[in-house]
Structure 1
Amino acid sequence: MKLKSKGLISLDINGTIYDYKLYQSLESLSRTKSQRQSAKELKISHTVFNRRLLKAEEKLGVKITQKVGNGTILTREGLDLLEEFQKYAVRIEKTASINIVGGHISSGLLETIKHPFNTNIYSSSDRDAFELAKRGAVDILTLDDPLIAYERDIDFTPIAYDYLVLISSPDCDEIKSINDLNGLNFVNVTGSAQRLAWNTLKHYDIEYNITHKVNSQFDAFKLVRNSSNLHCFLNASYFKGNELLKFDTRHVISLIKVNEDKPEVDEFINYLLNEGQEAIRNQGFTPIQ
């Protein structure tokens, strides 16, 4: 089986990520038994090909290739490495469903949209979802906040806009200006777009205290509504609240195509960008189109 680029597919071995380029090299070398021929097949120089193998061997601490006469073959360790990658490739190629993992807001949006595709959608924090995507276990990664993509220079596809609203405990005084936020206590939601709110408060020299941390916006909402003197910034698409920082916290809900070789993935994304935009609007988001 000749493997192709799988986008974010990779393996985590002892904390080190090995991406598809290494496995392309191993797969080609297992067939050609020649570094020069494999380099030509992959359209890279022999020097780059050889450096790729040496770098992997240095990280792994084992030899994955060995010279035999005028050629090069994979060692037992190299063959085992290739087999692990092939397991991931086969897992994705054989599933008929589009497997999607992403942040609570973005994955929740996709779960509510009616469409003609067979999907499996899993909800997590953006960073936990990204770790799953790196292992090639899904076809599409969705992000509540594109920060992860920005940090790694990864292309993403915006499908909607959202912004943050201020949620306060029932007995708190009404917030009328940004200066009223000075000295207040807030709940932080890990991996959410709240960074935009914190950056805005810092820009205006507003002092604030983060007294609680949770992993879900829904947990944050319950905590704030059942407490006294607590506040939180949550997505306007799911929660009604004070729009004080509406324009400062506007951000995109986006997708990253992980599996490049499944036609249904492109079809699903095209659907969301066209016919699905009205359904996105109906769910409280601002459409891209």
Structure 2
Amino acid sequence: MKFESEGLISLNINGEIYDYKLYQSLESLARTRSQRKSAKELNISHTVFNRRILKAEDKLGIKLTQKAGNGTLLTQEGRELLDEYRKYTIQIEKTSNINIAGGHISSGLLESIHLPFNTNVYSSSDKDAFELAKRGVVDILTLDDPLLAYELNIDFTPIAYDYLVLISSPNSKEVNSINDLEGLEFVNVEGSAQRLAWNSLEHYDIDYNLKYTVNSQFDAFKMVKNSKNLHSFLNASYFKGNEILKFDTRHVISIIKVNEDKPEVDRFIEYLLNDGQKLIEKQGFTLI
């Protein structure tokens, strides 16, 4: 991907100006999950890339990135900063690019694959993305869970299937059957497809406790792994875990065409449903 500085904007945060280079770095890192890959993508050295992040962290007083295995992920604060930048640019720019807003899983999928289209992607909860769509600032709405579309009787286009896996704290008791979920404490992710897991537990008459609520699955994963006895159900496309509710939590990842007047939108959807399916499958999703 080629990056151009022309036309890109800077934002003033607490009296400090942060130019487009920081947001390019966060944007790339959100997609590659590797500082070295992002540095190569931006045509700068790994040292320059790392220094750029560290300088911003020092000025902001927050951590923007965190190590995850052999890679690097954005922290919650890093994602929020990037999301605000995306939201701002989507609203002020009049562009031929396809503007996309949606849930963290569905928008993350479209960010992760290299598509032959120019896109701007804003990641949030399904409900927040829907608010942007109502204001007419996005061309395509993506949904992690089609519940919102069902409730509002809106036509949607499935592009993949996903399901939820059980993520547990280290050294917590092993779960081999539905009954082993009795009495466990969970981290809830607001606005996600987790409702399918909670509905299933209630169907099986399992007593459970939603102890914490967070805004993203990545925050839930971090909280569970750093605790002694917490659990969560997260998307199998992004996380490896116990598939005990695989068939109960299978659901579609979908998109909704918002802008009827941009021809590129129709071509984009057509691509996702045909040639793009191979790219979607490589990201861990099940094909339609």
- Greater Rg over alpha carbons, structure: 1
Q: Give the secondary structure class of the aligned counterpart of 2:191.
A: coil
Aligned residues: 198
Q: Which residue of 1 aligns with 2:239?
A: 239
Query: How big is the shift at 1:114?
Result: 1.2
User: 1:279 maps to what in 2?
Assistant: 279
CA RMSD of aligned residues (A): 1.3
State the distance in 1 between where 2:255 and 2:103 align.
10
Partner Cα separation in structure 2 for residue 95 and residue 226 of structure 1: 43
Confirm or deny that 1:140 pairs with 2:144: no
Question: How far 1:268 moved relative to its partner?
Answer: 0.3
8 Å Cα contact 1:145/1:193 also seen in 2: yes
In the TM superposition, structure 1's runs of 4+ consecutive aligned residues that sit over 3 Å from their partners are 91-94
Unaligned runs of at least 5 residues, structure 1: 1-90
1:66-119 per-residue CA deviation (whole Å, 9 max, x = no partner) reads xxxxxxxxxxxxxxxxxxxxxxxxx89952100000000000000111111000
The residue matched to 1:221 in structure 2 has which SS? helix
The residue type equivalent to 2:119 in the other structure is: T
Give the AA of the match of 1:98. I
Number of the residue aligned with 1:251: 251
Distance 2:152 2:103 in 1: 17
1:146-176 deviations in Å (ceiling 9; x for gaps): 0000000000000000000000000101100
Confirm or deny that 1:209 pairs with 2:209. Answer: yes
Between the two structures, name the one with larger relative contact order (CA 8 Å, sep ≥ 6). 1
Give the whole-Å Cα distance in 2 for the aligned partners of 1:144 and 1:96.
25
1:217-262 CA-partner distances (Å, limit 9, x unpaired): 0000000000011000000000000000000000000000000110
Which amino acid counterpart does residue 129 of structure 1 have in structure 2?
A
Aligned pairs for 1:24-103 within 5 A: 94-103=94-103
**Residue pair 1:93, 1:262 contacting (<8 A) in 2 also:** no
Q: Does residue 150 of structure 2 align to residue 150 of structure 1? A: yes
Structure 1 range deviating more: 229-238 or 91-100: 91-100
Task: Give aligned-pair identity as a percent.
Answer: 79
Q: Using structure 1 for the length normalisation, give the TM-score.
A: 0.67
Q: Distance in 2 between matches of 1:262 and 1:92?
A: 18
Gap runs ≥5 in structure 2: 1-90
| Partner SS state of residue 193, structure 1 | coil
Tell me the TM-score normalised to structure 2 length.
Answer: 0.68
Q: Does 1:261 align with 2:257?
A: no
Q: Partner of 2:194 in structure 1?
A: 194
Does residue 174 in structure 1 map to residue 174 in structure 2?
A: yes
